[in-house]
Structure 1
Amino acid sequence: MWKALASNALTFLVVLLFLAGGVILWGQQSYQSAGPLEAPICVRVASGSNMSRVSSQLEQDGAISNGSLFRIGADYSGKSDQLKAGAFLVPDGASMEEIVDILTRGGASTCGTEVVYRIGVTRSQILVRELDPATSRFVETANFNPAAEDTPAEFTTAAERGDTRHRIAMAEGVTSWQVVESLKSVGVLTGEVADLPAEGSLAPDSYEVNRGDTRQSVIDRMQDAQASILASAWANRVEGLPLETPEEALILASIIEKETGVAEERRTVGSVFINRLNRGMRLQTDPTVIYGITKGQGTLGRGLRQSELRGETPWNTYVIDALPPTPIANPGRASIEAALDPASTNFVFFVADGTGGHAFAETLAEHNRNVAKWRAIEAERSNN
């Protein structure tokens, strides 16, 4: 009798172990297999949240089929206490294991709301954008000029949300004064800029910032980036340039930046100024005259007068014989590289051609014909 009981108990234990092993295997496969999510979603994790709340949210969103299994898997992998606050893009078909990794690996939010502070040449803008998980593209929900328009509710809501990403987008050709003034309207930043950065020393680019960052720290990042770009371009410069220092290259790059908005023209425009410097010709470029008037503090907002073209300022290249003493804006990488690796041409003149680009010429006679064509285009436009 005792032998029978022992045999039955052993059999029962084996069955239990077999079933337990099957459950574990099933749980492991379910945790690692593709999930039920049919389309990408943005999962927001509030500060102070936990796996229990997140698993309930994921079940409700249809991203996982079993919240208990999700929590067990996160606990077993040692990630239960590594949950990160933010907004995270979860792709369709993501397994529970993949979702746990997405929500615990850290880093910046990968979806949700983004506020972009655009620093432009003629004006600054604040954009509020929301990522559409289905297309992975941002949808603009608000766009306004902080200096001239009322603050929309979408911006107020986004600015208060903890998982909103904030980014400063600095355009090529803005001045250091414009950057400092624009940073004052970025409410998530703190502190003041100690001194106005040297003209040309800031790299136009996109900079992600966090709430509480100082404005000076953003300026420092911009200056470090520009110094690195200039050092690399100077090290790779072509031979025979009439530029003695990286600072002179930065000055020329800023002029190229202000003279053309057409990317394909930068190296050709650079060649014109390099040829003029090599021949001892004055650069005769309007943007330098404008900088001598405004000192980079805003835009002129009108055409230049003949008296201003003749007016003596350190930046007026119609009067001075060489480069001005400082850059006239903050040039981008492409303009810096154009100054140090210009196209090989014999051009010494250029004028607008009516398409947004320029007509280039080697001789004054050819240039005068191009100017006449441009004047005709201007006259026709003014009559329409």
Structure 2
Amino acid sequence: MRRILLLVAVVALVVFAVSRCTGGRAPRDVEVVIPQGSSLTAAATALEKAGAVDSADAFLTNAKIFGSGDPIKPGEYKIKRGMDASAILALLQSGKVLQRFVVIPEGLPSILVYERLYATPLLTGEIAMPPEGSVLPDNYAYVRGESRKGVLARMQKAMQTALANAWAARKPSTAVTTPEAAIILASIIEKETARASERRLVAAVYSNRLKRGMPLQADPTTIYPVTKGKALGRRILRSELDSDNPYNTYRHNGLPPGPIANPGKAAIQAALDPAPSNALYFVAQGDGSSAFADTLEQHNANVQKWYAHRRAKGEM
């Protein structure tokens, strides 16, 4: 009996000593990188250097006494404030690495996707400018040291998959005849409205115009050669509306030669399933929404209302 009590006391002293040596718990949130091929000893050293534990030796002792024999996995980990040595070891064995995200919003042009990837300092390597319309807007997880090329490839693969799925579910009412044309039309829809409730109506206007051989008369396509998809920051100029380039849909019928942004899934689906509408025109109403019209007479009345709104605000 005395031997059992002595053994219990010794174990308690060991636990107390390990707890004292490791500082008990992580004093703050710490990010630690465990390189590929690291041993538990190397990981313990990295933890001590980062301030996640007070002593690498004490962490190793704790791991040997209380931890499982599972191997640790490489990657970047977030050690949260208050985690003890056992919890830290379990995290390294789980492989639940810290994930960061590159956010690509709907309608972002490729030049800004390119700039955003280069503005992410934890990514590595070089990339070329991605073709317009080749990237699916979404939130993309990455880990420290991952290549820009790899992240971009995942973005483009996601677009290929989304387009294939949407194309397979296309409706007979769509005006486009190829997946490539669907992306072009979807990019215009994306730039023309940010309202989910209006996407299919905008798609209907442009689909109706395409079917009738009417020019699309879309401002976003006309300014694309000027800004490459970035915000214009001013009103469109008459000289730009009169410019003779293939993106000027006031002068040239049909779709422009390529997308003007990277459209999201909803815009692609709208291009392939426009609303059942006879509308041929739409104009802003001043509150973020648009007024749609079937005839030029109705449209002109809506335009006059828009002008009145702008005059009331001192914009004209």
TM-score in same-fold range (> 0.5) = yes
Deviation at 1:309, TM superposition (A): 1.7
2:44 aligned partner, one-letter code? N
Aligned twin of 2:268: 336
Task: Quote the Cα distance in structure 1 between the aligned partners of 2:75 and 2:183.
Answer: 42
Q: CA RMSD in A?
A: 4.0
Deviation at 1:239, TM superposition (A): 1.8
Give the number of the structure whose alpha-carbon radius of gyration is greater: 1
Aligned twin of 1:174: 108
Deviation at 1:50, TM superposition (A): 2.0
Deviation at 1:356, TM superposition (A): 1.2
Task: Check whether the contact 2:174–2:274 (CA below 8 A) recurs between aligned residues.
Answer: no
Gaps in structure 1 of 5+ consecutive residues:
1-11, 25-36, 61-65, 111-164
Aligned twin of 2:91: 102
Aligned twin of 1:382: 314
2:108 aligned partner, one-letter code? V
1:1-384, aligned counterparts within 5 Å?
42=29, 44-45=31-32, 47=34, 48-50=42-44, 71=63, 74-75=66-67, 77-79=68-70, 82=72, 86-88=76-78, 100-109=89-98, 165=100, 167-194=101-128, 196-291=129-224, 293-294=225-226, 296=228, 298-382=230-314
Please give the secondary structure, in 2, of the residue aligned with 1:382.
coil
Structure 2 length normalisation: TM-score? 0.77
Post-superposition, which runs of at least 4 consecutive aligned residues in structure 1 deviate over 6 A?
Answer: 17-21, 51-54, 57-60, 66-69, 94-97
Task: Quote the Cα distance in structure 2 between the aligned partners of 1:286 and 1:97.
Answer: 60
Please give the secondary structure, in 1, of the residue aligned with 2:103.
strand
Deviation at 1:210, TM superposition (A): 3.7
2:69 aligned partner, one-letter code? G
How many residue pairs get matched?
300
Higher relative contact order (CA 8 A, sep 6+): 2
- Residue identity (%): 42
Please give the secondary structure, in 2, of the residue aligned with 1:360.
strand
Sort the Cα spacing of 1:178 and 1:20 in 2 relative to 1 into closer, same or farther, 3 A: same
Task: Check whether the contact 1:88–1:103 (CA below 8 A) recurs between aligned residues.
Answer: no
Task: Quote the Cα distance in structure 2 between the aligned partners of 1:263 and 1:279.
Answer: 26
Greater mean alpha carbon deviation, residues 267-276 or residues 227-236: 267-276
User: Per-residue displacement from partner, 1:213-248 (whole Å, max 9, x unpaired)?
Assistant: 333333322221111111111011112322110001
1:370 aligned partner, one-letter code? N
Task: Quote the Cα distance in structure 1 between the aligned partners of 2:46 and 2:235.
Answer: 65
2:300 aligned partner, one-letter code? N
Please give the secondary structure, in 1, of the residue aligned with 2:216.
coil
Deviation at 1:199, TM superposition (A): 1.5
**More strand per residue: 1 or 2?**
1
Please give the secondary structure, in 1, of the residue aligned with 2:175.
coil
Task: Quote the Cα distance in structure 2 between the aligned partners of 1:197 and 1:52.
Answer: 37
Task: Quote the Cα distance in structure 2 between the aligned partners of 1:85 and 1:317.
Answer: 50
Task: Quote the Cα distance in structure 2 between the aligned partners of 1:274 and 1:347.
Answer: 10
Task: Check whether the contact 2:173–2:274 (CA below 8 A) recurs between aligned residues.
Answer: no
Task: Quote the Cα distance in structure 2 between the aligned partners of 1:59 and 1:313.
Answer: 64
Task: Quote the Cα distance in structure 1 between the aligned partners of 2:226 and 2:276.
Answer: 33
Task: Check whether the contact 1:178–1:296 (CA below 8 A) recurs between aligned residues.
Answer: no
Task: Check whether the contact 1:350–1:359 (CA below 8 A) recurs between aligned residues.
Answer: yes
Structure 1 length normalisation: TM-score? 0.64
Task: Check whether the contact 1:84–1:105 (CA below 8 A) recurs between aligned residues.
Answer: no
Please give the secondary structure, in 2, of the residue aligned with 1:207.
strand
Task: Check whether the contact 1:51–1:71 (CA below 8 A) recurs between aligned residues.
Answer: no
Aligned twin of 2:19: none
